[in-house]
């Protein structure tokens, strides 16, 4: 079996990451707050790359601790989704989600990925501030892991929280390649009796011949190329279509897919919480922990138990509104970082977001319902603490229509607030494109790994996301956690509504080349990605 080492991976094979002139703002700017919107050029040689000495030096500052070894196998396999539905898909082992990885903050994770898929893949560690050469972005931070090959991801895990991992290769994430990563706090301040990890997903792979690649190909045809009679017409209102240009997160090793299965383009999905258009794809199933509502997972506890919910949205194109029937939630964390506790009837999560909440449970059987926001469908799990009939597969608790809390409303806990300070650099990202052409981009430019926006170590950096489209976008920054303005939550993924501008700040303390992208996998794969690059000191 081919086992590439870090040295071979980060040698000449990363030519893409180190060549070309970069459409960005020159590092020679003067002034306290240097503003960037893709003007000027900085030579590629001026950037820290994944094999630069700064990567190892920064890792040493994290003081890597005890090693936790894990083996992960990506395979093509049949999976039982419940309700009599078995699909053939790609997954980590034979489980959906993949088996949870649990470590303690300060540990060193040594995970070996064995790729038994028919094409190349990788693993990205969503939300972690880790060393750049382990971030898992083929063509930017590593070579992809070829079919039949393997690769060891080895890095210090410095902060506790709820995270997850998935490929950064094409639309593979919208298959079954995802799993939770839970980093325990050795000085955990919360008191609770049990913990329930809840992974939400929208599912299309292997259903009536559908694949995520075929969905992407269909979206790429736009309205003019669609078979209108086959469209999913759930919801109300209207959407548009597109002329697709593939801007892959990795080098493709398989031919372009032939369209297969029924149409999955979604028309009319609408949500006030999302500012209008809710999504592009009509999925046949929505899952909680890999199960359909017809055969849901049941979590057992005792009446009066205090349960910590760790909720992860691993979906490709769906925001979820989540509620536990008969209960209110106390939101304690978002994207792994503590917040000032907030009471909620339901929580809203965009793709890639995580929410932790505490709940003291009553006696009975209660629906944990995840509403596919704007799509009119639900996913379901059951909490059982006593006798009584289980909720039906279509259970829709009244809490879904109560007070809905999302990450943009939360305030960071005092222990994790950024120190006050003016930004040294502001970078504006105009989110552009439309369903009509499916030409999603950042500052009007589709993804090019040679294009990057410069920052310097030690700077306070402000990112301004300006949504110039008519659709919402969950924007994600790799390798860092930022703070929403005015004491807002610490996050790595944030919903940006149509017409909205949000500003977030972070301290540039993790050198390397880092992606910024929409976490709608189809928007990202169509071009809504770019790179943040650290300049050499």
Q: Which residues pair with 378 in a beta bridge?
A: 371
- Dump the DSSP string for 67-86: EEEEEEEEEEEEEEEETTEE
- Lookup: tokens for 395: 């259970």
The least confident of 136-145, 220-229, 337-346 is 220-229
- The enclosing H or E element of 312 equals strand 306-313
In order of 113, 174, 251, 308, 444, the CA distances from 1 in angstroms are 12, 27, 21, 41, 42
Phi, then psi, of 400 in degrees rounded to 5: -60, -25
**Topology agreement, domain 14-58+416-534 and domain 61-190:** yes
pLDDT digits (tens, 9 = 90+) for 410-441: 999 999 999 999 999 999 999 999 988 999 99
Task: Give which of 64, 154, 71, 72 is closest to 109, Cα–Cα.
Answer: 154
pLDDT at 33: 56
pLDDT digits (tens, 9 = 90+) for 462-477: 999 999 999 999 999 9
CA separation for the pair 352, 504 (Å, rounded)? 17
Q: Domain limits of the chain? A: 14-58+416-534, 61-190
pLDDT range class, residue 35, cuts 50, 70, 90: low
pLDDT range class, residue 28, cuts 50, 70, 90: very low
pLDDT at 34: 61
pLDDT range class, residue 42, cuts 50, 70, 90: confident
Q: For CA atoms 239, 242, 245, 251, give the dihedral sign.
A: positive
Mean pLDDT of 22-51: 59
Please identify which residue in the block is written with the tokens 């008191």.
Answer: 191
CA separation for the pair 106, 10 (Å, rounded)? 25
Mean pLDDT of 3-16: 37
CA separation for the pair 137, 135 (Å, rounded)? 6
CA separation for the pair 17, 143 (Å, rounded)? 11
pLDDT at 325: 98
Residue 11 has pLDDT above 60, yes or no: no
Give 173's contacts (C-beta < 8 A, 6+ positions apart): 166, 167, 314, 316, 521
Mean pLDDT of 306-334: 99
Residue 247 has pLDDT above 80, yes or no: no
- Dump the DSSP string for 110-150: EEEEEE-SSS-B--EEET----GGGS--BTTTB--B-TT-E
User: What fold characterizes domain 14-58+416-534?
Assistant: Immunoglobulin-like (2.60.40)
Where is pLDDT greater, at 9 or 277? 277
pLDDT digits (tens, 9 = 90+) for 130-165: 999 999 999 999 999 999 999 999 999 999 999 999
Where is pLDDT greater, at 271 or 1? 271
Task: Give which of 421, 424, 428, 460 is closest to 444, Cα–Cα.
Answer: 428
pLDDT digits (tens, 9 = 90+) for 489-537: 999 999 999 999 999 999 999 999 999 999 999 999 999 999 999 999 9
pLDDT digits (tens, 9 = 90+) for 59-102: 999 999 999 999 999 999 999 999 899 999 999 999 999 999 99
Mean pLDDT of 125-134: 99
The least confident of 5-14, 117-126, 348-357 is 5-14
Locate all alpha helices (DSSP H) within 410-483, ordered by sequence. Answer: none
Where b means 16+ CB within 10 Å and e means fewer, 45-83 reads: eebbbbbbebbeebbeebebeeeeeeebbbbebebebbe
Architecture of the domain made up of 61-190: Sandwich (2.60)
CA separation for the pair 299, 95 (Å, rounded)? 17
Helix, strand, or coil (residue 46): helix
Residue 245 has pLDDT above 80, yes or no: no
pLDDT range class, residue 45, cuts 50, 70, 90: confident
pLDDT range class, residue 222, cuts 50, 70, 90: low
pLDDT digits (tens, 9 = 90+) for 360-403: 999 999 999 999 999 999 999 999 999 889 999 999 999 999 99
User: Over the chain, what is the mean pLDDT?
Assistant: 88
Residue 97: asked if its preceding bond is cis (omega within 30°), the reply is yes
Mean pLDDT of 196-223: 93
């Amino acid at each position: 079996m081919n086992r590439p080492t870090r040295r071979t991976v980060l040698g000449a094979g990363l030519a893409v990451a180190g060549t070309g002139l970069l459409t960005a703002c020159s590092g020679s700017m003067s002034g306290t707050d240097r503003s960037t919107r893709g003007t000027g050029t900085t030579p590629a040689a001026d950037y820290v790359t994944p094999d630069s000495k700064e990567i190892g030096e920064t890792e040493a500052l994290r003081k890597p601790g005890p090693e936790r070894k894990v083996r992960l196998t990506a395979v093509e396999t049949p999976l039982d989704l419940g309700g009599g539905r078995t699909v053939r898909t790609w997954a980590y082992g034979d489980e959906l989600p993949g088996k949870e990885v649990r470590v303690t903050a300060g540990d060193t994770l040594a995970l070996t990925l064995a790729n038994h898929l028919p094409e190349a893949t990788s693993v990205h560690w969503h939300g972690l501030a880790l060393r750049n050469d382990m971030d898992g972005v083929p063509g930017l931070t590593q070579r992809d892991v070829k079919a039949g090959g393997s690769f060891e991801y080895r890095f210090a895990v410095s902060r506790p929280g709820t995270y997850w991992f998935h490929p950064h290769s094409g639309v593979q994430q919208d298959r079954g390649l995802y799993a939770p990563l839970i980093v325990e706090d050795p000085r955990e301040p919360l008191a609770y009796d049990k913990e329930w990890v809840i992974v939400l997903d929208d599912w299309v792979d292997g259903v009536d011949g559908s694949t995520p690649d075929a969905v992407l190909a269909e979206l790429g045809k736009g309205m003019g190329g669609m078979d209108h009679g086959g469209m999913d017409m759930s919801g109300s209102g209207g959407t548009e279509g597109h002329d697709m240009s593939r801007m892959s997160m990795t080098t493709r090793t398989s031919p372009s897919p032939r369209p297969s299965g029924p149409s999955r383009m979604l028309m009319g999905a609408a949500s006030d919480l999302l500012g209008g258009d809710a999504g592009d794809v009509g999925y046949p199933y929505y899952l909680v922990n890999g199960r359909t509502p017809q055969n849901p997972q049941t979590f057992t506890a005792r009446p009066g138990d205090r349960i910590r919910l760790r909720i992860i949205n691993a979906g490709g194109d769906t925001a979820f509104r989540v509620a536990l029937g008969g209960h209110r939630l106390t939101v304690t964390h978002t994207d792994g970082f503590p917040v000032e506790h907030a009471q909620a009837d339901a929580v809203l999560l965009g793709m890639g977001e995580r929410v932790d909440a505490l709940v003291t449970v009553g006696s009975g059987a209660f629906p944990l319902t995840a509403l596919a926001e704007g799509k009119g469908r639900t996913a379901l799990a059951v909490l059982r603490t006593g006798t009584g009939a289980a909720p039906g597969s279509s259970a829709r608790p009244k809490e879904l229509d109560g007070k809905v809390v999302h990450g943009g409303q939360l305030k960071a806990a005092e222990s994790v607030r950024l120190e006050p300070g003016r930004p040294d650099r502001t970078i504006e990202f105009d989110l552009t494109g439309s369903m009509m052409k499916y030409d999603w981009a950042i500052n009007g430019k589709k993804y090019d790994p040679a294009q990057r926006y410069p920052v310097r170590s030690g700077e306070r950096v402000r990112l301004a996301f300006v949504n110039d489209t008519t659709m919402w976008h969950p924007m994600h920054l790799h390798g860092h956690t930022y703070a929403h303005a005015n004491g807002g939550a610490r996050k790595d993924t944030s919903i940006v509504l149509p017409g909205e501008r949000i500003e977030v700040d972070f301290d540039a303390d993790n050198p390397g080349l880092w992606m910024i992208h929409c976490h709608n996998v189809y928007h990202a794969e169509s071009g809504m990605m770019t790179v943040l690059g650290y300049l050499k000191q």
